[in-house]
Amino acid sequence: MILKQYILFLSFLALPCQLQAQKVTIGTCTTKDGGEYNGEIAAGKPHGKGKTVWKDGDWFEGEYVKGKREGFGVYTFADGEKYEGQWMQDHQHGRGTYYFANNNQYVGLWFRDVQQGHGVMHYFNGDVYDGTWKENKRDGKGRYTFASGAYYDGEWKDDKKEGRGKFDWGDGASYDGQWQHDLKVGKGTYRYANGDVYVGQFIGDLMHGKGIYRFKNGDVYEGDYVRGERTGTGICRYANGDHYSGGFLVGDKHGQGTHTWKNGNTYVGQWQKDQPNGKGKLTTKQGDLIDGTFKDGQPDGECIGHLADGSKFKATYRNGVRNGHSIEEDKDGKRFEGNYVNGKRDGSYVEKDRNGKITAQGTYVNGRRQ
């Protein structure tokens, strides 16, 4: 018991020395990083409020704790940049405002000298970013508003748009979907200023993969895209009632495809440059059929026809009309063999009955029998 009282007595004797060691005075000293300090001092170190000036022109005015900047303070750099806000252990740490030499201004959270956490950057050109930061870069969720009124609201990584986000150009155009390295990548919806809408896959900022494109006029395309163009296999449903399914190349019908017009006509065959080109079959609503070669949407070359009235023919076409030798046979087996020029019979001809017996022969001129 006596020993405990003695120890307590010694502690009280040491207390004035400790208090004296923490006594704050006004004075000057040189900081550990070579700055000239003027202000409150304790134990030979900056402690309290004061100002430090460095040889390179930087200066700090604010609070110190045991020789380190801690609390609130303003650090002004020789190049004109400035930080005013909270400090901890000589670091910008907590909430503060940084004024950049290029007139950008950041207001928000800091962690050991870097922008980290929520903050708002006001850019010199009028743009504003309000969101999360990590190591001085936009990272996490945030909204970037351009001076023009356009904005991006979504996820960021390493200062780039990354993840889910919406970009609105302010003119009616917008994209809502996946991003990667500042580019549209993955699934998204792009609304055009003219009212068109695309929903589907993107790669490298371009429509690429499967997608559905709805035109303002009511047309709808569903199918493949390559580098922003309809390329591959797809289906087009037109507002006027037409329908096409088949191949596409750079936006045009290309390769094998089937087109049905609103009037009931159907073409099945090869396409090129958005028109029937190559081998194909054209069937009318009435039941007429032309099977042969097509060029720029018209029969061109050798064609065989089977008509709804039971007649049939084999003829050469040029630019959609018969030009050259033609064999025709009606439903009763009566046969015509002759030539056509620009769709009219022209030249010598022979007519036969169903048994092959010649019933007439002669010449046609410009569609008239001579």
What is the tens place of the pLDDT at every residue in 127-169? 999 999 999 999 999 999 999 999 999 999 999 999 999 999 9
User: pLDDT at position 356, please?
Assistant: 93
- Sorted by where each begins, the domain ranges of the chain are 23-81
Q: Give pLDDT, residue 19.
A: 38
Give the model confidence (pLDDT) of 294-331 as tens digits.
Answer: 999 999 999 999 999 999 999 999 999 999 999 999 99
Q: What is the DSSP letter of 167?
A: E
Phi and psi based region of residue 48 (left: phi greater than 0; alpha: psi -120 to 50; beta: remaining): left
Residue percentage of the chain with pLDDT more than 70: 94
Q: What is the pLDDT of residue 100?
A: 98
Output the pLDDT for position 206: 98
Q: In whole angstroms, give the CA distance from residue 370 to residue 367.
A: 9
- Residue 3, judged by CB atoms within 10 A of its CB (0-12, 13-18, 19+), counts as exposed
**What pLDDT does residue 21 have?**
46
pTM score, two decimals?
Answer: 0.84
Q: Are 207 and 228 in contact (CB under 8 A)?
A: yes
Q: What does the pLDDT read at residue 168?
A: 98
pLDDT at position 5? 45
Q: Nearest CA to 303 among 280, 277, 284?
A: 280
Q: Tell me: pLDDT of 50 over 70.
A: yes
pLDDT at 6: 40
Q: Convert the pLDDT of each residue in 75-125 to its tens digit.
A: 999 999 999 999 999 999 999 999 999 999 999 999 999 999 999 999 999
Q: What is the pLDDT of residue 1?
A: 40
The mean per-residue pLDDT over the stretch 193-214 comes to: 98
Model pLDDT, residue 9: 38
pLDDT 10s digits, 242-294: 999 999 999 999 999 999 999 999 999 999 999 999 999 999 999 999 999 99
Percentage of the residues of the chain whose pLDDT score is greater than 90: 94
pLDDT at 11 over 50: no
- pLDDT tier, 22 (very low <50, low <70, confident <90, very high otherwise): low
pLDDT surpassing 60 at residue 205? yes
* b/e code 303-323 from CB counts within 10 Å (16+ = b): bebebeeeeebbbbbbeeebb
Tens-place pLDDT, residues 100-109: 999 999 999 9
Q: Using alpha carbons, select from 137, 136, 130 the residue that is nearest to residue 157.
A: 137
